[in-house]
């Protein structure tokens, strides 16, 4: 079974910096703590956790849920859909044997 990689573009404007979107300092710290828990719980190896640390989960949740963005639980994102818990995403990426340069869309 081959996986297809699909790139989604947000309609929201975003700040850019070299290498991606720019989270604020508090979000960056919370995202780092979230990835430390992923490692501590052995959901993923260090390279997977590092990749997850580079992408701020808070960018993918509605504004009213930003305070819960870094908890290891699914969150509603609208239209009856949820964003998966970070631990589950880490575990799936780990099982997929994702390597540098690959892109993953969890559906």
DSSP state of 105: -
pTM value is: 0.69
For the question of residue 84 being annotated catalytic, the response is: yes
The better pLDDT of the pair 89, 7 is held by 89
* DSSP characters over 48-94: HHHHHHHS-GGGGS-GGGGGGTTSSS-EEEETTEEEPPHHHHHHHHH
Q: Which of 10, 11, 27, 84 is catalytic?
A: 84
Closest CA to 102 of 27, 51, 43, 68: 51
Instruction: Report residue 16's pLDDT band, with 50, 70 and 90 as the boundaries.
Output: very low
Residue 42: predicted pLDDT = 92
Taking only the tens place, the pLDDT of each residue in 55-105 is 889 998 999 998 899 999 999 999 999 999 999 999 988 888 878 888 877
The whole-number average pLDDT for the span 17-37 is 75
* Degrees to nearest 5, angle at CA 87 with 18 and 29: 45
């Amino acid at each position: 079974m081959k996986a297809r990689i699909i790139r989604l573009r947000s309609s929201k404007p975003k700040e850019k910096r070299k290498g991606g979107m720019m989270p604020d300092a508090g979000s960056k710290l919370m995202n780092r703590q979230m990835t430390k828990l992923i490692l501590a719980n052995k959901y993923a190896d260090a390279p997977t956790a590092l990749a997850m640390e580079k992408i701020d989960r808070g960018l993918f949740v509605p504004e009213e849920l930003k305070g819960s963005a870094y908890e290891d639980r699914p969150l509603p994102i609208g239209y009856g859909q949820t964003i998966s818990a970070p631990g589950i995403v880490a575990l799936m990426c780990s099982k997929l044997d994702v390597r540098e340069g690959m892109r993953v869309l969890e559906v």
